[in-house]
């Protein structure tokens, strides 16, 4: 019989490619009318926008080669910026303080020197980790604010294993040098970010996409693991010998019958962010000044903004430029926050109209562009954006994944594994143990 893969995002495409390469008969079922998942894109009046910001910096040679064979890429230096109270600071802000007023730099450096030196294994949560790394003033005015904007929760509600090398921890010399001069050195966790020259980010999967049997507009509503049947919203069914899913864990649990109560509870308590994408196209070529930047001001809703045209000129019509802003909110149990107005975690969620108005108004106030320069203005919503690493994530995730494994469902991808995955990691999660590379 057939191996069924649920979802045609990067993990699902990878699984289909590698299993088919091995000789298995594979069919991929996709809810939407196109492939790519969060790596997909959309085009408006010749302006192409990815679904949230994407780059790749795959360290593994096999994965790198697959991506390059699929589409030649640009290699961008990992240079980004931060917007804070009207000042532009090179990223990471903690050791690029030079543009700030003297009083604020003194407060940051003073607290950095006097910060607690708690052993890593004694740190209880992300708030404490931030205070230990950077001191109270910087922690409270930079990452605390960004945590609320990006993760939708307070720093104290997050654990710390996800951090890894994602955040630079400078020594005193780095902080002092960065307070007096603009530094050329790159302190980001990778020196480059790659992006396809043509076709948007999903083009890195072109080689894997070729020859795959992907069936679109097939929304899964029920899975019968006893009879090995997948049922779809259109009333059709498909049998399988092997079932591989990239669907979010809270969603797939809802599709199963007679799920134990502890598993249902664990799935509901898995937290994630949902997000709006505000996409803007301009009639001038030079609107975008930075490849991407972060915003700490909490009255400005976007957490992060990037430029599709700086990633590749193929993303805009000739003589134009573009920006896309990302706005995130906490969620739990896969709640539909677009209809309730309040996330399952209790955070009030502004309407799409409010988000679009705030984003355009605030970015204009930041002097990034003028209203009359906008030729495309669009807002879209994604239910699943990022996994939230609350204190119970590992316990709840293990309960759900062990249950799925026990009934013969293999999980892959960011939301199938419920992990903080970069692009190459999501791709590699689709290279299953029984696949041949």
pLDDT for res 339: 55
Please tell me whether residue 115 adopts helix, strand or coil conformation. Answer: coil
pTM of this structure: 0.94
What pLDDT score does 350 carry? 86
Q: Tell me which residue has tokens 């240079």.
A: 79
Quote the pLDDT of residue 437.
41
Beta-carbon neighbour count of residue 329 at 10 Å? Answer: 25
Per-position pLDDT tens, the chain of length 437: 799 999 999 999 999 999 999 999 999 999 999 999 999 999 999 999 999 999 999 999 999 999 999 999 999 999 999 999 999 999 999 999 999 999 999 999 999 999 998 988 899 999 999 999 999 999 999 999 999 999 999 999 999 999 987 888 999 999 999 999 988 888 888 889 999 999 999 999 999 999 999 999 999 999 999 999 999 999 999 999 999 999 999 999 999 999 999 999 999 999 999 999 999 999 999 999 999 999 999 999 999 999 999 999 999 999 999 999 999 999 877 677 665 566 555 667 889 999 999 999 999 999 999 999 999 999 999 999 999 999 999 999 999 999 999 999 999 999 999 999 999 999 999 998 555 44
Collapsing DSSP to helix, strand or coil, 76 comes out as strand
Domain ranges of the chain: 3-74+199-267+391-429, 81-187
β-bridge pairing 87-90 and 81-84: antiparallel
Residue 346's pLDDT is 61
Nearest to 256 by CA among 154, 386, 403: 403
Query: Residue 244: what pLDDT?
Result: 98
CA distances in angstroms from 332 to 266, 270, 281, 345, listed in the order given: 11, 6, 33, 6
Fold of 3-74+199-267+391-429: FAD/NAD(P)-binding domain (3.50.50)
pLDDT at 187: 86
């Amino acid at each position: 019989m057939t191996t069924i893969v649920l979802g045609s995002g990067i993990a699902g495409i990878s699984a289909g490619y590698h299993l088919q390469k091995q000789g298995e008969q594979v069919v991929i079922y996709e809810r939407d009318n196109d492939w790519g998942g969060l790596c997909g894109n959309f085009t408006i009046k010749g302006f192409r926008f990815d679904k949230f910001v994407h780059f790749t910096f795959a360290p593994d040679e096999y994965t790198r080669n697959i991506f390059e064979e699929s589409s030649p890429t640009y290699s961008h230096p990992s240079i980004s910026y931060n917007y804070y109270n009207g000042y532009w600071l090179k990223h990471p802000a903690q050791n690029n303080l030079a543009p700030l007023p003297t009083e604020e730099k003194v407060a940051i450096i003073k607290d950095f020197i006097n910060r607690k030196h708690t052993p890593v294994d004694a740190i209880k949560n992300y708030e404490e980790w931030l205070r230990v790394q950077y001191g109270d003033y910087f922690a409270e005015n930079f990452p605390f604010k960004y945590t609320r904007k990006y993760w939708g929760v307070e720093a104290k509600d997050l654990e710390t294993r996800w951090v890894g090398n994602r955040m630079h921890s400078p020594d005193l010399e780095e902080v002092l040098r960065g307070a007096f001069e603009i530094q050329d050195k790159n302190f980001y966790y990778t020196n480059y970010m790659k992006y396809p020259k043509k076709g948007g980010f999903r083009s890195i999967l072109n080689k894997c996409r070729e020859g795959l049997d992907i069936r679109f507009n097939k929304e899964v509503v029920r899975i019968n693991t006893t009879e090995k049947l997948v049922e779809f919203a259109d009333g059709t069914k498909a049998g399988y010998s092997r079932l591989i899913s990239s669907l979010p864990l809270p969603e797939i649990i809802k599709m199963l019958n007679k799920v134990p109560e502890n598993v249902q509870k664990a799935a509901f308590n898995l937290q994630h962010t949902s997000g709006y994408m505000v996409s803007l196209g301009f009639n001038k070529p030079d609107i975008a000044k930075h490849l991407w930047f972060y915003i700490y001001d909490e009255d400005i809703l976007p957490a992060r903004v990037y430029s599709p045209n700086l990633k590749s000129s193929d993303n805009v019509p000739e003589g134009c430029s573009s920006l896309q802003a990302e706005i995130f909110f906490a969620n739990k149990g896969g709640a539909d926050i677009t209809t309730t107005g309040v996330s399952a975690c209790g955070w009030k969620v502004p309407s799409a109209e409010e988000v679009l108005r705030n984003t355009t108004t605030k970015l204009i106030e930041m002097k990034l562009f003028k209203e009359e320069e906008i030729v495309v203005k669009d807002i879209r919503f994604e239910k699943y954006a990022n996994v939230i690493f609350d204190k119970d994530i590992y316990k709840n995730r293990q309960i759900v994944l062990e249950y799925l494994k026990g009934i013969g469902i293999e999980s892959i991808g960011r939301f199938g594994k419920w992990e903080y995955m970069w692009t190459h990691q999501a791709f590699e999660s689709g290279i299953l143990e029984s696949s041949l590379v």
